[in-house]
Amino acid sequence: MSDITIKIKDREGEVHEILAPTDMAMNLMEVVRSYELAPEGTIGVCGGMAMCASCQCYVTSDHTLPEMSYDEDLMLAEAFNVKDNSRLGCQIQMTFDLDGLEVELAPEV
């Protein structure tokens, strides 16, 4: 089995428990888009290049994520509604280690 289960709270407050593939090199932003959990054009505006913060999310589970890249850190430094647990969904690759991940999509700015 190559899927993991993750929970995503959308911007309306609804929690979605979904299956995310680990064998397709997808990131969290792409998973959110594929399940249409945010209106089109409101998430992943830069295409996953860490050049906007439209895919910002709050990691609410206890998972250890890979260290934040320099580009992600710079982008979050300029973003709105940033919290200590903020990450860019485009920088979170779907891997087996993230089974059970829980995130909340940051408000649209």
Give me the CATH number covering residue 36: 3.10.20.30
d(CA 12, CA 107): 9
Contact 56, 89 (CB under 8 A): yes
Q: For the segment 51-92, what is each residue's pLDDT rounded down to a tens digit?
A: 999 999 999 999 999 999 999 999 999 999 999 999 999 999
pLDDT at 42: 95
Sign (positive or negative) of CA dihedral 67, 70, 73, 76: negative
pLDDT at 109: 82
State how many domains the chain has.
1
pTM of the model: 0.95
pLDDT at 1: 65
State what percent of residues in the chain have pLDDT above 70. 99
Residues of the domain holding 34:
3-105
Q: What is the mean pLDDT of residues 5-16?
A: 98
